Chains A and B, each alone.
Chain A
Amino acid sequence: MAEPITKIKRLEVSKEALEQQDLQEINHAVIENKEAILQGIDLLASLHEKGFLELGSAVVRHKEDALANVLRIFENPKYASIVSNLSKLVVLLGELKVDELKYLLDKLNSGLQEAAVTDDSVKTSYFDLIKAVNNPDINRSLTMLLAFLKGMGR
């Protein structure tokens, strides 16, 4: 004979037993992943030393506020243009011909070196200028600059 009943007595697992169970699980995981955990501790220690850990936790704790603040900044047209300029710059970088630019920059550098040791007091006369065209170095520079100007005008 069994009347319908609805009362349920839950199995009381003691807090200690549950804790013991959890600890066992953790122990097991630690042993399985010993190397990774030791390395992880190293990483944590360095992060702690440099103060990143504290900073990180604060940011995570206030994730939504932080994000809102950052986004508010970018909503300002002034800063929004930074973002769009940044991404445009990235695109630009992709288009630059670095090898050619390097050539030009090398030349610019040696020009700067020469200029740095020039005596400011010496005056260049009109004649000196004409004479300088004959100097092979100066002539190469002029030819290159003229070619550059031509290209730029296209």
Chain B
Amino acid sequence: MNQHKEVLYGLYDDEEVLLKAVRKAKSDHLDIMDVFSPFPVHGLDDALELTESRLHITGFIFGAIGTLTAFLFMTWVFTRDWPIIFGGKPYFSAPAFIPITFELTVLFASIGMVVTFYTICGMGPGVTNPTLDDRITDDKFCIAFDVTGAEAKQVDKLRAFLSSTGAGEVNAKEI
């Protein structure tokens, strides 16, 4: 994964210009490597034809694990491992298990989803991912093309595309 990539990127000043450029790139069948922005741009997912995130499914699975863990564990403790009568209630007093079951469902789902999110995004404490420009987290919107080993003609075509769609700056960088 640590192969060096040559990247050609254009910086745009406005997200609406960026969206138009992305749509045009798609209709011209240009292969965009990635798009970077300082905040989530609405409509960008559709323009890039990104598939819907399946993160919420992970959340459901982790939540279900939490539900089962909590409920089955309490049931096992109070009916098998160490049955105690509290206030004359039955050993298996399901309604009293509901609050903890709910809390652990939320806890498992949240932790599971957050850990999954950082893992699939390749992020975590101390991780350094290469960035193209410091202004991308400030006020610039960026379209990046992977031009590793590309012919000069192809690079020129992409460069022309970026300038013609409104990129204020077009740069190349090795990451």
| A and B pair up | no
B residues touching A (Cβ–Cβ < 8 Å)? none
Give residues in A with beta carbon < 8 Å to B. Answer: none
